[in-house]
Amino acid sequence: MNEVINDIQGSRFLLDVNGKEVYVLYAEDKETLDLYSTYTPPKLRGQGLAEKVVLAAFLYAKEKKLKVVASCWYVRKFLEKHTEFRSIVSQ
């Protein structure tokens, strides 16, 4: 399976699975990374693919010392499982 890439031009973290795209959309500024929408094609749901792209976004934010704005419901759900990232979430 392919790795998650940061599609800077498309403002999304993207995973290509046999030509189908799983992604989280973001808006970035100097201090924050707003994760505002995730998408997984219906036939690929339930495989942990959205978790992979959101994890990549959090690791990017941590590396760049950005606060994450969890606008998307899935990102908030991700944080319930991955409490280690709560310290970089914007309140």
Q: How many CB atoms lie within 10 A of CB 48?
A: 10
Q: Output the pLDDT for position 1.
A: 56
The amino acid that residue 88 corresponds to is I
Q: How many CB atoms lie within 10 A of CB 40?
A: 22
Q: Output the pLDDT for position 83.
A: 96
Task: Output the pTM of the full model.
Answer: 0.95
Of the candidates 63, 47, 50, 46, the residue with the CA atom closest to the CA atom of residue 14: 50
pLDDT under 70 in the chain at which residues?
1
